Amino acid sequence: MSNYSFGSQEETMVMKKVKMGFLFFLICMCLLVPVHPTQRLSPTITDLAFKNVDFAMNLYRKISSYHDKNIFFSPLSISTTFATLSMASDGETQKEILKGLNLHQLEQVEEPELIPRLFQQLCGNITRNGSLRLDQGTALFVSQQFEIEKIFDEQIKRFFNADVRTVDFMDPKSSSGIINEYIEQKTGSKVAEIITNLDSQTQLLLINIIFFQGEWQMPFNPNHTENRPFHIDNYNIVQVPMMFKDDEFYTTEDVPLGAKVLKLPYKQGIAMLILLPNKGMDYSLVDDKITAKRFLSWVKQLREMQLEVHMPKFKLEQSYLLHDILPDLGVSGVFHDSANLTKLSRNRGLKVSEVLHKAVIEVDEKGTTAAAATTAGIIAYSLPRPFIINRPFFFFIYHEETNTLLFMGRVIDPTKI
């Protein structure tokens, strides 16, 4: 009985706090609004970046639930692709896309172009220094029986640097030729022949491809690369070219998760974060526990330390049929007859047939030697600790200033592309 009354007393305390918080909030609003009439609590690119990380983790968990192979995709690129689709759509279809992308909370009724503008600003911020090259392309190929709205064509060019083209899907050979040529041209021939067979019933095909090869701030010396074992699991071992570097790195440990974290900085304000589950730990247990909050907490907790890093060279080339995956995240209407794509074309009955995403990455020793003078300040008595990436690991490539997740991947077997 006494316990109960104690509890209720505490409850009233909490209630008081809540009320005070509410009052405080109201006062702030009153002060803010008249003083800065133009300054609204409008979402920023930081909000967009955070929502994107959240979306990335949801998508990752879906993809990883289908198989136990290597994974590599570009969350930013996928969100951008679906943001172009949200501009093509209206009504329920648009609502569903924004919700699936985790962007519905950023919507502002009085500013319909806010979300595309945020995407444009974010991409501008990431490539601001001009030296980061993300070879990417987004294109919508629409069956020629649909007439494309001029406003839409202009909008997606302006905000997303994307293209919309009409093709004759009834002639699969010529249309796949046109599409493959477009991709080759957009990616400097690094990605070729993405389309092999096209369904003549296709109405709308969305393609998004991205190629990344960053330059390390502290390159690995190729002379130190040697073949070493990589333990796929308890029974399978492969030999991989293992790079080596002894230097100061930013690192941390996630003790509850049972994993270590290492940051490998690229130039251009980008970094790769490696998440290495502890020896003997099943990586699939880690799979379910990766969240946006966790990712940001690793970034915050990084500390500089002398390390001996052993890291496999690898190349990944992964394609995903997003029309098969996105319905699991609640985006399905746009693929059905009920799709509302009236902003793309006023002709009735248009729906999205396929959405293809392809991402390619090469991780090797490369980089320039210019920025390598980091060995100063090593404390003589701090013996370097080994960080040996010789078992399945996760990696995240992100823009440091905005914490935008450009790529996310999982390497189970580095010898498989």
Applying CB under 6 A, the residues found at the interface with ligand NAG are 45-46, 90-91, 125, 128-129, 221, 223, 267-269, 340, 342, 401-402
Least distance from ligand NAG to the Cβ atom of residue 91, Å: 3
Query: In whole angstroms, what is the distance from residue 400 CA to residue 408 CA?
Result: 15
Dig out the tokens for 162 from the structure: 């994307």
Least distance from ligand NAG to the Cβ atom of residue 132, Å: 8
Query: In whole angstroms, what is the distance from residue 286 CA to residue 6 CA?
Result: 40
Least distance from ligand NAG to the Cβ atom of residue 116, Å: 17
Q: Which distant-in-sequence residues (6+ apart) come within 8 Å of 387 by Cβ?
A: 249, 251, 260, 262, 276, 307, 308, 309, 310
**N-term to C-term CA, the chain:** 65
Would you say 317 or 401 has its CB closer to ligand NAG?
A: 401
Would you say 46 or 145 has its CB closer to ligand NAG?
A: 46
Would you say 86 or 342 has its CB closer to ligand NAG?
A: 342
Would you say 87 or 316 has its CB closer to ligand NAG?
A: 87
Least distance from ligand NAG to the Cβ atom of residue 212, Å: 16
Query: In whole angstroms, what is the distance from residue 364 CA to residue 361 CA?
Result: 10
Least distance from ligand NAG to the Cβ atom of residue 218, Å: 12
Residue nearest to ligand NAG (CB): 91
Q: Which of 127, 133, 107, 120 is nearest to 162 (CA)?
A: 120
Query: In whole angstroms, what is the distance from residue 188 CA to residue 131 CA?
Result: 17
Q: Which of 238, 190, 253, 245 is nearest to 223 (CA)?
A: 245
Length of the chain equals 417
Least distance from ligand NAG to the Cβ atom of residue 67, Å: 35
Would you say 169 or 220 has its CB closer to ligand NAG?
A: 220
Least distance from ligand NAG to the Cβ atom of residue 243, Å: 12
- Is residue 59 within 8 Å of 71, Cβ to Cβ? no
Is beta strand 204-212 parallel, antiparallel or unpaired with respect to 354-363? parallel
Q: Which distant-in-sequence residues (6+ apart) come within 8 Å of 329 by Cβ?
A: 58, 59, 62, 100
Least distance from ligand NAG to the Cβ atom of residue 249, Å: 17
DSSP 8-state secondary structure symbol assigned to residue 266: B
Would you say 123 or 195 has its CB closer to ligand NAG?
A: 123
**Which amino acid, residue 102?**
N
Residue 407's CB is within 10 A of a number of other CB atoms, namely 24
Would you say 90 or 184 has its CB closer to ligand NAG?
A: 90
For residue 386, give the 3-state DSSP assignment: strand
Would you say 165 or 267 has its CB closer to ligand NAG?
A: 267
